[in-house]
């Protein structure tokens, strides 16, 4: 199924304990997602970055991070 992208609204919801470093990493991920036609992420957690982060788009939930660090397309 092909999805035509007319608009792409993104919101970040952080749970308690999310550091500003993790939020900056999340924004990097969101910028990449906005530029890509696919929303597939492979994540590898780095030691020391902990928390839970949910990314949403106009298509619904994309991914939930228990630990956030690096992202690959």
Q: Give the pLDDT confidence of 37-49 residue by residue, as tens digits.
A: 544 443 433 334 4
pLDDT single digits (tens) 12-45: 555 556 666 767 777 777 677 666 554 444 343 3
Domains in the chain: how many in total?
A: 1
Six-digit token string for 65:
């991070």
Residue 62 is assigned to a structural domain of this protein:
yes
Report helix, strand or coil for 42: strand
Six-digit token string for 71:
């992202």
Measuring CA to CA, which residue among 38, 39, 24, 37 is closest to residue 69?
24
pTM equals: 0.33
Residue 30 is assigned to a structural domain of this protein:
yes
Which pLDDT does position 24 carry in this prediction?
Answer: 73
Residue 31 is assigned to a structural domain of this protein:
yes
Residue 6 is assigned to a structural domain of this protein:
no
CA–CA gap between residue 55 and residue 65 (Å, rounded): 8
């Amino acid at each position: 199924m092909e999805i035509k992208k007319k608009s792409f609204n993104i919101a970040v919801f952080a749970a308690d304990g999310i550091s500003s470093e993790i939020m900056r990493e999340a924004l990097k991920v969101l910028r990449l997602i906005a530029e890509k036609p696919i929303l597939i992420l492979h994540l590898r957690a780095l030691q020391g970055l902990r928390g839970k982060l949910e990314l949403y788009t106009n298509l619904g939930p994309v991914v939930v991070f228990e630990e956030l660090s690096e992202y690959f397309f």
